[in-house]
Amino acid sequence: MEGNLDYIYNELRETKTELLAYLNSENTSERILQYIKDELDDIDSALQKIENGEYGKCEISGEILPPEFLQSIPTAKSSYEIARIEQYCRKPLYS
């Protein structure tokens, strides 16, 4: 995960820069302003965890979160959160 950690860290910083630019633009819709602020908080939290060596651990159980999941959703905080997201990603048995 070490090599991926640098990649995730850089992606989080880039995303933060893009969101801050959007947040400070005059075209920011009030409808999504809170979502942007919440995402920025999650990004700041993930960046802080990387810097403190705590990134990738479940905030509830302390278990290591799946690295392949963190690559897709780097702001995931817990196994519970991952399970809830995976619930929406499942393919139906019948189409």
> Going residue by residue through the chain (95 aa), what tens digit of pLDDT does each one get?
567 899 999 999 999 999 999 888 777 778 888 899 999 999 999 999 999 999 999 999 999 998 888 988 999 999 888 888 877 776 665 65
Q: What is the pTM of this model?
A: 0.82
Residue carrying the six token digits 């990387």: 50
Please state, in angstroms and rounded to a whole number, the distance separating the CA atoms of residues 44 and 51: 11
The CA–CA distances, whole Å, from 86 to 5, 43, 81, 94 equal: 22, 20, 9, 18
* Whole-number pLDDT of residue 38: 94
CATH 1.20.120.910 is right for the domain spanning 2-89: yes
Radius of gyration, CA atoms only, the chain: 15
**How far is 16 from 42, CA to CA, in rounded Å?**
10
What residue ranges do the domains of the chain occupy? 2-89
